[in-house]
Amino acid sequence: MNSLRMFGHVLLWAGFLTGSVGMLMRRELDLLPEAERTAILALSPTTSVASDLANQVSGKSWAELETDEFVKVLDSIPKPVEPSEQTTSEQDTEEAPASTPAEEETKPKVVVPSLNKASLIQLRTSRIESLWPTINWYVYVPALLVGGIGAALLRSTKPNANGGGGSSGTSLEPLRTALANLLAEVGVLEKELPQMAPEEVVAFIDDRCVRHCNSFADQREIIKSLLGLSRFGEIMSEFASGE
């Protein structure tokens, strides 16, 4: 039994881990049209694009652009300056008259939010209605079956409520017997009570009733396994009051 449960645990975890891998084998980026994916991957990791560039070029937001429009906007992004071109640009800048501090203070400073490569990917993939295509079903379905077999093995080999085998774990008969014996002793006590001293009543309960109460309480887990936790609480509350 223990070996079967161990095998069930192995199958369950193997199915769970393999299924998780199957869900992550394809990226959301892979669901985009090839033209979009190629244009995005061609961008430099340090690319920074103005967030309103799409509106400036096509009058639409990034998420509203069609594939050809999106590629057109990306093509309008200035290409990185080569080192030689950067040197020439710096020389031209040096030759140009520098602005005075007063002029720089009067120029309005407009801060435009920018988007990096990761932000562009997120904006485009957010248009995808369903992410089910990202799952590799050739991996996910077998993993699901393996995990289901493992769960079934664990369920079928679940130990009895009293920790052992036998019919006592699946029958209320032992509890009925304990209660019947307890009621019989209480009936005897009821008849003899008028002639008994208080000390004799206590001794009678200790000697003849307690063992039946303990027998019922020791097998209380059977109630939980057969009748559920709610009924278990109701029955044991009444038993505790009677005890």
Low-confidence ranges of the chain (pLDDT < 70): 1-2, 22-30, 78-112, 127-134, 158-170
Residue count of the chain: 243
Q: What is the pLDDT of residue 72?
A: 85
Q: How far is CA 160 from the centre of its chain?
A: 29
Three-class SS state of 49? strand
Instruction: Give tens-digit pLDDT for 130-162.
Output: 556 667 777 778 888 888 888 888 777 765 544
Residues 6+ apart with CB under 8 A from 133: 26, 31
The rounded distance, in Å, linking the Cα atoms of 49 and 62 is: 11
- The two tokens of residue 185 are 């002793």
Q: What is the pLDDT of residue 83?
A: 52
Q: What is the pLDDT of residue 90?
A: 53
Q: How far is CA 177 from CA 58, 74, 219, in A?
A: 85, 83, 11
Measured between alpha carbons, how far apart are the two ends of the chain, in Å?
38
User: For 132-172, where are the alpha helices, taking DSSP H only?
Assistant: 137-156
